[in-house]
Structure 1
């Protein structure tokens, strides 16, 4: 008999994301965001599969579907697992095809600019080879020092980066500085004014073979005098 194998519609995002982000000499495409959907009740199983792990690592928004089919405790564990695996990702949940919270695609992608939750840095394990590093500074950073940090310290891991996200308070700027990176490409935009909010600077980096201690030490030198 003849057997046929059908794909599940899942694919590695790496090549496509790098091609779009690099531009390839054309302005025909623009990378606006990467969202990933997983079954909240099956995340622990799916997160042992290399492809699912890679997709979570590249995402900047992760939607946990079928949230109504699992207990609040199971949903909390799923959210924590995503946060540990990808500290740069915003997390949302959905039930019966309806989002809990953001009601439009624009609102969902807008979660990327929300302050992300502090997580314990995730070390590489036998389940996944990448790690997520969260860096925090209370107060403002010096713009030139942060640029040097990106161009020297972060650039050392060229070819091993999946995602970079930062929300920073820069000395002399009233607006939040938003950093979004795919692979080795980084884009900087500006968000809402800080106003009376406490100024805190945070960066999350997801990649392979990162030197956590070196990144932490280098980031502390970005503090504004």
Structure 2
């Protein structure tokens, strides 16, 4: 079977808050005529991304409770094998990893599993980077033996989406950032973007992954016994409120205070909210100290369905998080 007879797979990776889910939404709503299956991996016990992805006819699978590059990789293989039993139903598979994933073990899956090798080929590893926060993430000093995920994600990229380019203050800042990226990966094409908006033809069906080039960079790429060690100080706290609505004024004030004081350690925050006094669904997205609140009234996503259970779900991912403090603070904002 030639590559043209196989189904292409794109791995979308990038650190927390870089814009991966926004890119997935852009792909799902663009007019490209492709039938796409999405596999999402979240870091944490409460899934939020399934509610942030736009509703389409495409198939979406979500994997929680672990990083796709290690503890739930068998789940990935199981889902892919399930998809292969219906491979005529779609043209492309997209895997969106958690922001804490090393993409190498995910990519390795398509070369060491004999069944998957028969039906799938790795089209590209696409790394989305947050122009505003990338330097800080690259410069972070990790404990001994722990990988810097941002470095690994750039190193294995076939294409790099330099996102949120509008948040850079000058051309000099951009040049400095590109120089840092190039010191890690000299071969990957860099595409600049705002809100992850890119030409779909530049990222899907591009046949950019090269096993030879990857082995040249990492001779142990196909070693299935290699371990990916996470920074154990980085955890997630997920909170659900199913029996009450939130006071949006209290909640915004609490979130802004929390992120202004703890934002350096809170890498990513996001949530879907049931707000008192309205049928609109609210969504908040935070990256370090930056936060955005939006509602379904703006037309970017759907409101609550007529018979849909209204549950507020939030997740915080960061360093040395205090679960009881976050839970009590969030629940104090119940209307």
Normalising by structure 2, we get a TM-score of 0.34
Looking at CA atoms only, which structure, 1 or 2, has the larger radius of gyration?
2
Normalising by structure 1, we get a TM-score of 0.49
